[in-house]
Amino acid sequence: MDNEVPMTRSVSLAEAKAHFSQCVRDAEDGAPVLVTRHGKAVVAIVAATDLDTLERLRSAGPASGLASLAGQFDDAQDFVDVVEAIARDRRPSSPPDLAE
């Protein structure tokens, strides 16, 4: 089970302050720490690499679609080419003749 994803753990603000170093170590190890205040989630401590991914997703926005995320992959241009080919194949070459 080497591919097991660590669970996000939730701690109160007071507990996060008291055990901040451990919270940071957990986040570095890939287990984000959700910090709560009065029982409500207010912030998360995440690894810097996770923050980079979150910022890319946020900047892409929901309107950009899946193709906008392609830049974060090593073979992104291959992905973009495939998506463009699919879109091209789905477009009619000429409008249908409705008079027939």
Q: Using one digit for the tens of pLDDT, what is the confidence trace for 36-83? A: 999 999 999 999 888 888 887 777 666 555 555 555 566 667 767 777
Domain ranges of the chain: 1-46
* 87 CB burial (10 A radius; 0-12, 13-18, 19+): exposed
Sheet with 40-45, edge to edge strand ranges: 9-12, 33-37, 40-45
pTM: 0.54
Residues 25 and 72: their CA atoms lie apart, in Å, by: 26
> Spelled out in words, what is the top-level CATH class assigned to the domain 1-46?
alpha beta
At 51 the three-state DSSP class reads: helix
Residue 95: both structure tokens together: 């409008």
- Give me the mean pLDDT over the 15-40 stretch: 95
